């Protein structure tokens, strides 16, 4: 399985934290859930970090069974719509950059 992360590196504009969360949960998660053939979607909101560590107010993780499925999802029209919706949702709330990482997941249950 592969997980593709969208890492929001930067900071939230002070006073917009709750608006940012609402925009992500109410507007973006429904779109991200429409990405075809994904097997899991997780979002995490940053709370604490080590002194000097970069700030990640949001990390999105979408899991796919394989690379071909992930690439097909990235070409799907809903992804293009979600990119525009993401830019609208973060405008005035988030200052920074978004970068993506693909990882291979190995699962070791407790």
One digit per residue, the tens of pLDDT, for the chain of length 110 reads 999 999 999 999 999 999 999 999 999 999 999 999 999 999 999 999 999 999 999 999 999 999 999 999 999 999 999 999 999 999 999 999 999 999 998 889 99
- Distance from CA of residue 96 to its chain's centroid? 14
Q: Are 10 and 99 in contact (CB under 8 A)?
A: no
Give the 3-state DSSP-derived string for 43-74, with helices as H, strands as E and coil as C.
Answer: EEECCCCCCCCCCCCEEEEEEECCHHHHHHHH
pLDDT of residue 34: 95
pTM of the model: 0.92
pLDDT of residue 107: 83
pLDDT of residue 105: 86
In angstroms, the CA 34 to CA 9 distance is 24
Quickly tell me which residue has 């070409």 as its tokens: 75
The first and second tokens of residue 87, run together, are: 């830019």
Tell me if residue 23 falls in helix, strand or coil.
helix
């Amino acid at each position: 399985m592969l997980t593709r992360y969208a890492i929001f590196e930067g900071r939230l504009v002070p006073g917009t934290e709750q608006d940012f969360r609402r925009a992500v949960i109410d507007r973006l998660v429904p779109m991200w859930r429409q990405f075809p053939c994904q097997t899991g979607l997780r979002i995490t909101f940053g709370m604490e970090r080590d002194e000097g560590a970069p700030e990640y107010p949001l990390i999105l993780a979408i899991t796919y069974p394989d690379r071909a499925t992930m690439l097909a999802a990235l070409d799907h029209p809903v992804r293009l719509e979600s990119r525009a919706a993401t830019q609208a949702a973060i405008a005035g709330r988030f200052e920074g950059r978004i970068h993506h990482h693909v990882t291979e997941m190995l699962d070791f249950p407790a």
